């Protein structure tokens, strides 16, 4: 009998080590499986979002990631600035419904990016105070119309005494026309 119990005593640590190694291998396999499934879901989500916008004639670039537990994803959509994206919250609702129906995934957040490439390159060629010339996008031009018509601001220095006088005056007093810099000197 003592020989059997001695053999069991020697095999017990070995069996514990083997069980630990098997559990580590199972954990690594589970993590690899989850990572591959998450990568497939991200690829599927990116493809479905690109196809959703391509169907309406818009080319976008998409990147997404999974945050938190479950199938909740965050998408980053980049597109040229367009007037149809002005009400992007409506597009987000239909896109979320489309993703849920098509992929069975939950699109939690959508971040939009609209880089202005043409206007930025045109602005570097002009002066810092001049707006960019006519670009090919009507939406950008519509926004620049008001900017072009703004009056130019003339800034000049005033003496410190004049500033203190203004700062210490009663705010409810009627406004007095400011003397031009040429009159105050």
- What span, in angstroms and rounded, lies between the C-alpha atoms of 156 and 114? 37
Q: How far is CA 26 from CA 20, 31, 33, 117, in A?
A: 10, 9, 11, 50
What are the tens digits of pLDDT across the range 43-79?
A: 999 999 999 999 988 889 999 998 877 778 999 999 8
User: How many degrees, rounded to 5, is the angle at CA 121 between CA 117 and CA 126?
Assistant: 145
Q: The domain at 2-115 falls in which architecture?
A: 2-Layer Sandwich (3.30)
Where are the chain's structural domains? Answer: 2-115, 127-185
Helix (H) or strand (E) holding 129, with range, is none
Relative to beta strand 61-66, strand 106-113 is unpaired
Q: What is the DSSP letter of 59?
A: -
- What span, in angstroms and rounded, lies between the C-alpha atoms of 76 and 109? 9
- What span, in angstroms and rounded, lies between the C-alpha atoms of 27 and 35? 12
Are 138 and 103 in contact by the 8 Å Cβ rule? The answer is no
What are the tens digits of pLDDT across the range 57-66?
A: 888 999 999 8
Residues facing 76 on adjacent strands: 63, 111
Mean per-residue pLDDT for 114-130?
56
- What span, in angstroms and rounded, lies between the C-alpha atoms of 96 and 113? 18
Q: Who's near 109: CB < 8 A, 6+ residues apart?
A: 74, 75
Percent helix, strand, coil in the chain (nearest 5)? 55, 10, 30
What are the tens digits of pLDDT across the range 138-184?
A: 666 666 666 667 777 888 888 999 888 888 888 776 655 444 454 54
Q: What is the DSSP letter of 152?
A: P
Inform me whether the pLDDT recorded for 122 exceeds 90: no
């Amino acid at each position: 009998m003592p020989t059997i119990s001695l053999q069991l005593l020697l095999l017990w640590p070995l069996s514990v080590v083997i069980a630990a190694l098997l559990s580590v291998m199972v954990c690594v396999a589970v993590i690899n499986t989850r990572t591959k499934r998450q990568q497939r879901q991200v690829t599927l989500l990116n493809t479905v979002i690109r196809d959703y916008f391509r169907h309406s004639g818009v080319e976008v670039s998409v990147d997404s990631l999974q945050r938190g537990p479950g199938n909740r994803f965050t998408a980053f959509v980049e597109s040229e600035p367009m007037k149809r994206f002005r009400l992007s919250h409506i597009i987000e609702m239909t896109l979320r419904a489309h993703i849920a129906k098509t992929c069975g995934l939950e699109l939690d957040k959508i971040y939009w990016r609209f880089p202005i490439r043409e206007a930025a390159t045109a602005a570097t060629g002009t002066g810092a105070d001049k707006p960019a010339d006519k670009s090919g996008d009507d939406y950008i031009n519509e926004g620049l119309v008001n900017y072009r018509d703004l009056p130019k601001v003339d800034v000049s220095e005033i003496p410190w005494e004049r500033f203190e006088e203004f700062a210490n005056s009663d705010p409810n007093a009627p406004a007095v026309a400011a003397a031009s810099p040429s009159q105050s000197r």
